[in-house]
Every structure is written in C-alpha cells, then in structure tokens.
Structure 1
Amino acid sequence: MKTFYFLLFSIVFLACETQPTMVTPEVVMKDTLMKTKVVIDTTPLFKSLVSNFNTQDLLLPEGFTYQVLFSEKDLVTRADGKKFPAKGNHDLSVFIPNENHPNTKGWVYISHETKHKDDGLGDGGGATMFEIERKDSVWQVVSDYEHIDFSEVGYTNRNCGGSLTPNGTIFTCEESWSHQTNYLYMDGKGLRDTSWVNGRPAYQNMGFVVEVDPKTKKVIKKHYQMGKFVHEDALCSKDGKAVYLTDDMNPGIFFKFETDTPYDYNTGSLFAFQQSADGETGKWLPIPKDTAAWLDVSNVALKLGATMFIRHEWIEEINGKLYICETGEDHYNLTQSHAKGGQFTNYAKANLREGESGEDFDDPYGRILEFDPTTNKMSVYLEGGVMKDSIGVFSSPDCNTSFTIGGRTYLVLSEDMIGYDRGRSGKNAKHYQNELYFLDMAIKNPTVDDLMRFAIAPKNAETTGVVFTPDGKHMIVNIQHPSYRNPAPFNKSCTLIISGF
C-alpha cells in the first residue's frame, strides 16, 4: 500500500510534550554579529495523542478538524457520462495544485486497491480523480468524480502506492500476487476477462507499474521492464535516472530501474539489490533484459543472490537518502528462498533468537530502513516495538511521507498492522487499531519513544495516501478498509482533508 506525492511541497508543522518545538517570541537570542534579535518559537502545534485501542472515530489532536472529500459508493462519472458507485480501498493520494492557486485549488488522484468484478467501472483495480477548492474556509469538491479507465492495458489488480513522476505523470503500483489466472478470476467474482494479453495468460499481465496521464485522465502504459512482482511503491529520483521499487512479499526484493535517458521511463535496465556481509555497502545485480526474466523477476533475483527483505512498503527520499517501511511478518521461514540463492539481511542475522534455525524468523513489529544510494548502505533507522509507557506500540509501518519546517524535517508514518494480537492493538485486542506518527529526523538514533502520535484511525482501518497542500496547512489522507460496523462516515473507505496546521 506509497505516498502520496505532490508538487511545491513545504509545511509548517510540529508536535509537543517532550518533543522538539517551534519558534515563538517567548525565547529571544541576540545575534552579536548582526545586532538583531532572532526569535525562537517554543509553541507546539499539537499535543501528542495517548493511545486508544477502541475508537470507531478518527482521533486528532485538539484544534484539528477533518472533512470528507470522497467516499466509497459515491457516484463516479465514466468518459461516456454514465455514473456508477465508486470503488473502495482508497490507497495512493496525489495532489496536483492549480498553477494560479496552488494552496486553495487542485486535482486529487486516488488509487483503489481493489480486485473484484465491477460492471460499471471495470473489474480489478482502479483510480478516481476530482477537483477541490477552498472557499470561505471550507474545502469543496468542484467537479465530478471522474473515472480512470484501465481497460486499454488489460485492467489492473490492487492499485496500491506509487508516485508523481518528474514528468507530471503518475505511477500506480499493482500489489498483485497473481501467479495463476484462477487467482484473478475468483470464480467469476474478480477479473472476468482472462483473454489478455499478447498470447500470454491473464495473470502474467498483473503485477506491474502502470503510468497514467492525470491531464487527460487516461492510461499511458504498463511498464513491463520494471518487472512483475508485488509492487508496493515506486520512487523516482529527482535526476530522472532511476526508479526505486519496493516489493511487499516474503521474501521481498529491493529493485531499481535505471533509465537509458533521464526522465524517459520507457527504456532502461532493472537491478536487484544485494547487501554486503557487513552491511556497510552493497551492489546492484543486473536482471536479464528479456520478457521471461521480467515475468519471473523475483525468482531470477533470488538465483542471482539478491538480499531477502520482509515485505517492503512505501519509500520516501529525504536529503538524498531513502527511507523504507519494512512491515515485518509473524513467524516466517526463508529456507526455500535461501536455497534458491537469496541472501539474509545483515541485521536479520544479527537478531536471531536463541533456538531458531537461522532461517525461521519472527518479526511482529517491523522497522524503518535507511538506504544511501551513494554508498549502497542499507541499515536499520528505527525498530518497531512497545514504548516505554507499556501502552503505545509502533508496529507494521506501511505508508510514509515527509515534510520540512524551517530546516527541520519530519517523517510521517502510518501503521497497517499484520495482526492485532501480541500487544500490537493493546492488551486482549480483538480488532485492528492503527495509528499515524511523526518523527523528527534531527533525532540521532531514534527509538519508538521519539514518535509523536498525530492520529488514531477508526476500528480496523489504516491511514494511507498522506499528502499535504503546498503551503503545508492541510493534509489529505485516506481511511482504508474500516469496519462496516463503525458509524458513518467511517463504515467505508473514504478520503479526508485535515485542517488546523
């Protein structure tokens, strides 16, 4: 499930309690060289929430409010003018600001991580676009909800994360485990047209990066050269030379697509990452440039000796380094994948529990990884786990993004718990309760106790697709797969905009 990407991005944001604060007139320092006063703000913007493992509402700090922009079952307009109920499982959000009014007007793109039949909007995954405008301090939807038609590329399956490319197009990732056509067909409840494509079975057309033109609201192509696997997220380098690709699989491979020509994503080479034994560096293993390799790229990468990760989620670039959510898994065994040639991560080998075979791991909380493209070093930036108060838990990180405040940068992290037991949703929990956090990137060697809790999602829901307006005053966020027993509006997937920053 990635980002939530945007243009002209800046924000003025911060959290409180024992966390770093912003500048206020309360503290004054004298600049002895310039003979002027430098004002430092000590007023926190919000008070970090206390964990709540039984809410059916979205909990926010005091002073923050939300509006619902778009919900599952709202009427969506097709190109022919006919209207049909919107798909659900809202995931990726992209905000494309209006050139003349970037902070108060723009288009919103929402991916649907769906896989079921739909007579009106097409089987499988999907996407919806709509225009919003802020008038009289209230956000309004000022267009129809417009349908993105994926039929020209044989439809999609489970549209998850993605990104706004430097070219202004959108990459949407198929988080699809499609290894046989029956998986997609689902006894007629899923993708019913199994005739696609080019003489290959339908399942070989799912599990790719798909490019969309938001201006025309039409699909451009599926990028087969970026490989078929369980695509979670795609991050384009600013120089247009690379696309970093995360794999939500057990094991998952970290991939990179290098373009032949900067900003031209149609031709290039695919690579799989291999970490060095000491974890201080690594190298990129070239994937053969042929269709057979692209269609079976995970096995090809394992045979080449690629490093095995445990379900990579969204990826974000901050100051030249990449931050990747590794969500973890309960009791997983990598014996078969190791036998194919896959390599263990340096940090997994260092953290085996006594009595384990060396190939059977237990990773209930997950972590945030840091990758340096200049050195190829992949390291653990933040381990998940229980906080010092024995109540708060940071587990199963998934969606991430970032923002910068006057030289200070923050990483925004959403949970998508792999299980509600083992204390991840509090003691004796029988449902999922996910939270949304902020982390000050200036903190060296951060722990879970440095996280600032901004939001608690309704029962069974996760927050995803977090993106800010260019002035940083408003946050767009998706509430995905909440319990249908929750009171409205959180009894179905929806897109919100949060104000109060």
Structure 2
Amino acid sequence: MKKLYVPLLAAAMATSAYGQSPFPVDISMADSADWNTSVVLHPSPLKYQVLFVGGLDSVATLDNAQHPNGFALAKEWHDFIGFTPDTASGTSDLGWISVNHEMILADDKIGDGGGMTVFKVQRDAATDTLVIVEQTLPDSRIGKFFNVDFVNTVGETGMNCGGITSDADGRIWTAEEWFQGSNSAISSNGGGITDTSNFEFMTDIAGLSGENGTMLPKYQNFNWMVEIDPRTASAVRKQYNWGRQGFEGGAVLPDNKTVYLGEDGTPGLFSKFIADTPGDFTSGKLYVYTYPGEEATGPDDYWVEVDNSDLDVMLNLSAGTDSAYGLKAGAAMFNRVEWVAYNKLDGKIYFTETGSDSPGKDLAEGAAKGGTMAPYWAKAYRMRYEAMTGEAFAGTDAEAIDSVLAGKFNNYYGRVLVYDPTTGEVDIVVEGGPYLPSSPEYAEYPVKHLANPDGINVMYINDKAYLTICEDLNGTSFGRTPEGVSNRTCELFMLDLAISNPTVNDLVRVSVVPLGAEVTGACPTPDGKTLLVDAQHPSDENPAPYNHSLTYAITGWDQAQITDAELPLDAEIGFQIYPNPISRELRLNVSSPTDVAIYDNMGRRVKVYRQVRSVDVSDLTSGVYYVRNAEGQTRKLIVQ
C-alpha cells in the first residue's frame, strides 16, 4: 500500500486521526476473553542511520589546476550508490561509498553538470553501524566527503543517474542518462554546462585512439559510461567503446570481462561488451541484443556485433540519434531499461524496464529503422488484455506485438526482466501492477502495488539471493497512487529469487522514502550487513533533513528474517494481528480495510487509524498495548 507517512525516516508524519472517532478515549482494563492471545512485536534487528545529505554536507573540491580549493555544499538528487571494498592488509575500514548526483547544475567549485560524491566508511564494532572516515587524498584534499573530479580528467559529466559496481572487484562507473542532442540542451539556459565550446576527443581506448584530436560538439561528450576511482575521487575515462547511449545501469560479471548495459530510452538498447583481457576495458567487442526469431539455435544468435572502433558508430549508436546504428543492426527494443544486476547463484542478469504511458509510437518508429521486438512483449500484452477484459487474448504472439506497436498497450507500471545467458532469452520476472482502470480511494487501494521499477540490485542474506527493487513513479494515474494523492511516495521492495513465477504479492516492503522522493541506490555492503539507500528529490515541505536528497543505511540484515507471509483468514477466529519486525508494522489479517485504535496499558487511546490493513508502530515505546477494531474486538500487543 502506498503509505501516507514515512515509516523509516520520519514517524512523526504518520497519519493518526482522532476526530469523529467511534473509539472511546479510554477503555476498561478489566480482563477480557478477547485479550487472551498476545501478539509480541520483537525489536527489529534493523537500524537506520542517515549518512550523507545533499545541500547540507560539504565536499572537498579541486580547482582547475587540480589543487585543493576548499569546500562546497554537495549537490543533490542522489541516485546510484556504488561500494568498493578496502582490501588493504590490516585495515579496519570497510570501503568507499560512491553516490551519483543526477542534478545538472552550473557550479564553479564542484564543476558544471552532474556529479558524484565519495566517502569512506568503517563499521563500529559495538553497534555495527557505519562510521565515516576522515581521509587525506593523494591530491592533498582532506575531509570526509569528496567531490569527484571530472572537469580536469574527462570533461564535465551530466545526468549522473545509474551506474555499475563491478562484481569482480568493486570498480565503479557512473551513467550519464538523459540523452542530449544539442549544446543548448546541456547549457540549460546557462544553468547547466556553461562552456559549450567544441571538445577535443582524447582516449587510450584501442581502435579509437586514432581519432585523438578530433573536435566534437560539446554535447557529444555526454551520455557515456564513465569510470571513476573512489580512492582518489577522480574520473578515469569515458568508456567510448561502449557506445553513446542514454545510459542507466550495467553489470560487470565476476569474469571481469563481460559487461551488460541498459539504456533508458524508447526504444532503449540492451547491450554487452566483452573485454579481450580480464580487467582491461580499453579493448574488446560490443554487441546489441536482438530478437533473431524462432530460428535461433543458441544464445549467440541473440547478439549482433557493432563496430566499436568506428567513432561515428559509437557516437550514434542510440535510437536517440538520426543514424541509430543499434536499431539498424536489428537491436531489440525496450521501453526504458533502468538498472542491471547479476545474480551469482543462478548466473542470470536481471534488469528493470520502467515503462512509459504510451510507448507504441516510438517503438513503431524504431521498428521502421530495423528494431526488433522480443516475445516478452506478447506476454505482457496478454496479461494486460486479460486484466482489462476478463478474457484471454485469442490472437497470436505476432498479433499481440502488433497491438503494442499500434499503441494499444499503455505501459503504466513497467516490469522486472531477466536475461538467461544459457538460452539467450529475455523473460518477465514480475509484471508491475496490478492493473487498475482508475486510482481507487485509499481504503480500497491494494495492499501491494508495484509501479515503474527502477533501481535494482541483488543482496545475499543467509545464502539466499534477494532482488531489491526501487520504485520511481512515472505518474499518479491508473492506480500508481491512491485517488487524491499528488505528492507521490515510492517504496523499496525485496523479492526472494528462489520463488518460482513470483507476483507482486510476493514482494516484501522494506522501506518507504519521504514524500515526493524517488527511492533509489539500493546497494548492499559486501559483508551483507547493510543496505545503502538514497531518497532523491523529496518535497521541500518535509521536516529536515528529509527535505533534502540523502543517503541512508539500513543495517542488521545478517540477523533479519525476510518474510511477509500472511496468517490464514479464519472466520471463527475473527480479528487478528501479526508483526512485521522488518518494517515495524502490524499487519491486520482482515478481508477488507478496517478502522483500528491503539491503547496503552493504562487504557488511554494513543492512536486511531482509518481504513487500513497495516499500522506503522515504529514510534511506540516498549510496553503493553491493546489494538481494537471498529467492532470492539481487542488484542493485546507487546512491543519489545
């Protein structure tokens, strides 16, 4: 359910209603048969801490001569989080955290465009929480938070959205997303990139270094994957041999050669780079994923090589360019690929397709340029058709795909996809939704609803793989939020990847970010104890610091049991409650939303909730309470 409060960060924003209540202010504490069953809410093993706040914390900067240049307030719009372990012998430090800033802003000290901040952490041995370490960098900057130097290394960067943490060694790439087509676009009326003079192309990448000295329009030096070194807070190179795309996410596999890449566009590409030598990404081959038809004989048939030694091809690989070399090669078309994650337990590649409301026209134009449609589109169309009409679609898969291209499929919710390297096929893991023809009132809203999945990662807890799924709502219509809710709230879910054919009902809600914010980042630390999360661009009306983009840590996963199983609804038992210690929720085992009140051990009413199936109790102190529904049934609650 889309909460109207901020359960993990600002419990004071919970909506409790006292006016016009059928519940008495006090109740008798006399023994009642209804109170024979106690519900115990054990202390959550999870701890929450805010690590880094944009616009409040200061970052150490460099001038154009790469000398320390004092401090400046960090940029905002936190997005991707990367983690690089500290493997030095004898160190007590855990590693470096890298945070993207998707905001495009002109700034003389930090650098124009987007940006990144890096900082180092260690783990407190007594509490397991994270402690930020003060550092002195090789460039003589001293502090806790450091601005990544792009200006003096690779030219400015922008639209720093997703990225890559290598599964081989923790190397970091930041993704330049929103595809740029002109210098005026990157300038943003002087508020973005102020220097729009031609850019001199320089690289050490094999096959492209012969183009060194070529003068490019400034905007063409944006929309690349960009490697950084968090240890020095500086950029390494723009990955020109991976093609210029509206990049969002990617994954470097443990072989340290294979890279999967996702483009946020419609059509968006799913591509693959294979290095010639492990760990050396300056030389290798680039492929785009295609759908070869039923005549495919193996996984290699699903990939078409593109010439990444041709600078023109690399500059114009994306469908966002006139040449659109990727589509001309037969690339399969996706509707906004977001993050990409590798699961070491099954060897598969998971990625999000966040969707858009009306993708048909753009996909049809892409098909005219040579783009192909993978069969999962037919599967998605069939599911939606049945949800809308109550009947199965009687046509063929080809007819279903034609319907998508004809604009008969509104991709309101998106989905999570999976690529299987052993077969070459892409399939649906979880379809967003459920489909709602209109936004219902809060009381009738589904207990769980997934819309526009964006950031994902794989977290390993007790030797099991869980997919962390972050929402970034494209809108509020068609049930993406309840009726009348305009300040959208995004949720972070976990999915047990051992579940066969999972649905939205198998998702476990982990966190809800402040009003107006996108939840993103979701990055586990290598020891499996902490999940790092970003709240991006929250409402400026939220209480501080939740009115700023921020990075927070959820610690204690090594002790957590990830479960959301509901008790069976038994009419003979009636009103039941049960705990969800992960999110400090009480789940009401009822067939429809109900009113409930909570009383303390003195019989005094402390909370009233209207038409709910779950109640946030994260702000209740330890003690005995009583939960009463509108029918007068009461259950004892013990908060530990």
Query: Structure 1-normalised TM-score?
Result: 0.85
CA displacement at 1:348 relative to structure 2: 1.7
- Give per-residue Cα distances to partners, 1:400-427, cap 9 Å, x unaligned: 1112234422111111111122111223
CA drift at 1:167: 4.9
Verify: 1:246 aligned to 2:225, yes or no: no
Residues 1:369 and 2:417 are matched in the alignment = yes
How many angstroms apart in 2 are the aligned matches of 1:493 and 1:309?
Answer: 29
Provide the C-alpha distance between the structure 1 equivalents of 2:170 and 2:459, rounded to a whole number of angstroms: 20
| C-alpha separation in 2, matches of 1:59 and 1:441 | 30
Pairing partner for 2:489 from 433, 440, 457: 433
Query: Equivalent residue for 2:428?
Result: 380
Contact 1:225 1:294 in 2 (8 A): yes
Q: In structure 2, which of residues 306, 309, 319 is the aligned counterpart of residue 287 of structure 1?
A: 306
Greater shift, 381-390 or 97-106, is seen at 97-106
By relative contact order (CA 8 Å, sep 6+), the higher-ranking structure is 1
In 2: Cα distance, 1:356 partner to 1:168 partner: 43
Partner of 2:623: none
Residue aligning to 2:80: 92
The aligned residue for residue 3 of structure 1 is none
Whole-Å separation in 1 of the counterparts to 2:92 and 2:150: 30
What is the rounded CA distance, in whole Å, between the counterparts of 1:67 and 1:362 in structure 2? 39
Cα shift readout 1:345-381 (whole Å, capped 9, x = no counterpart): 3122351658957432311111111101122111111
Residue-by-residue CA offset, 1:289-310 (whole Å, 9 max, x unaligned): 3000001102111112111100
- How far apart are the structure 2 equivalents of 1:118 and 1:252? 31
The correspondence of residues 273-312 of structure 1 with structure 2, limited to 5 A, is 273-278=289-294, 282-288=301-307, 289-298=309-318, 299-312=324-337
- Alignment partner of 2:553 out of 489, 497, 501: 497
Q: Alignment RMSD, CA only?
A: 2.4
Helix, strand or coil for the counterpart of 1:114?
Answer: strand
> Out of 404, 429, 433, which is 2:460 matched to?
404
TM (norm. structure 2) is 0.67
1:431-455 Cα deviation digits (max 9, x unpaired): 2211011111111111111111111
2 CA distance for matches of 1:167 and 1:410?
A: 21
- Give the distance between the partners of 1:468 and 1:372, measured in 2 at CA: 23
Q: Which residue of 2 aligns with 1:153?
A: 154
For 2:481 and 2:292, the matched residues in 1 are separated by 36
Cα deviation, 1:243-278, whole Å, max 9, x if unaligned, reads: 111000011011111212222100112111112435
Alignment-mate amino acid for residue 70 of structure 1: F
Aligned to 2:364: 335
- SS of equivalent residue, structure 2 residue 367: helix
Contact kept, 8 Å, 1:97 with 1:107, in 2: the verdict is yes
In 1, Cα distance between equivalents of 2:488 and 2:275? 41
Structure 2: tracts of 5 or more residues without a match = 12-40, 63-67, 135-143, 201-214, 319-323, 386-392, 394-401, 436-443, 558-640
Whether the aligned pair in 2 keeps the contact of 1:59 and 1:455 (CA below 8 Å) is no
Shift of residue 168, structure 1, vs aligned partner? 4.5
Give the whole-Å Cα distance in 2 for the aligned partners of 1:158 and 1:297: 19
Unmatched 5+ stretches in structure 1: 1-49
Quote the residue 1:317 is aligned against. 342
Residues 236 and 258 of structure 1: CA distance in aligned 2, closer, same or farther (over 3 Å): same
Give how far 1:59 is off: 7.0
What pairs with 1:263-278 in structure 2 (closer than 5 Å)? 263-278=279-294
The structure in which a higher percent of residues are strand is 1
Give yes or no for contact 1:416–1:434 (8 Å, CA) kept in 2.
yes
Distance in structure 2 (CA, Å) of the matches to 1:495 and 1:264? 31
| 2:98 corresponding residue in structure 1 | 109
Whether 1:359 and 2:414 are equivalent positions in the alignment is no
Structure 1: distance between partners of 2:165 and 2:156: 20
| Distance verdict in 2 for CA 1:196–1:212, change over 3 Å | farther
Q: Distance in 1 between matches of 2:410 and 2:342?
A: 28
Say if 1:57 and 1:490, in contact at 8 Å, map to a contact too. no
Aligned to 1:17: none
Q: Is the contact between residue 96 and residue 231 of structure 2 (CA under 8 Å) also seen in structure 1?
A: no
Determine which structure has more spread, i.e. the larger CA radius of gyration.
2
How many residues matched? Answer: 452
Match of residue 107, structure 2, among 79, 102, 118: 118
Q: Distance in 2 between matches of 1:261 and 1:294?
A: 21
Residue number in structure 1 paired with 2:133: 142
Aligned-pair CA distance for 1:141: 2.2
The whole-number CA distance in structure 2 between the counterparts of 1:268 and 1:462 is: 36
Counterpart-to-counterpart distance in 1, 2:90 and 2:9 = 29
Is residue 2:235 matched to residue 1:219?
yes
Q: d(CA) in 1 for partners of 2:216 and 2:330?
A: 28
Question: Equivalent pairs: percent with the same residue?
Answer: 36
Name the stretch that deviates more: 424-433 or 394-403. 424-433
Question: Residues 200 and 358 of structure 1: is their aligned pair in 2 closer, same or farther, counting only changes over 3 Å?
Answer: closer
2:52 to 45, 70, 74: 70
Pairing 1:395–2:472 present: no
1:193 aligns to what SS in structure 2? coil
Give the equivalent residue in structure 2 for 1:170. 172
- What is the DSSP-based 3-state SS (H/G/I as helix, E as strand, rest coil) of the residue aligned with 1:153? coil
Q: Report the Cα offset of residue 106 of structure 1.
A: 2.8
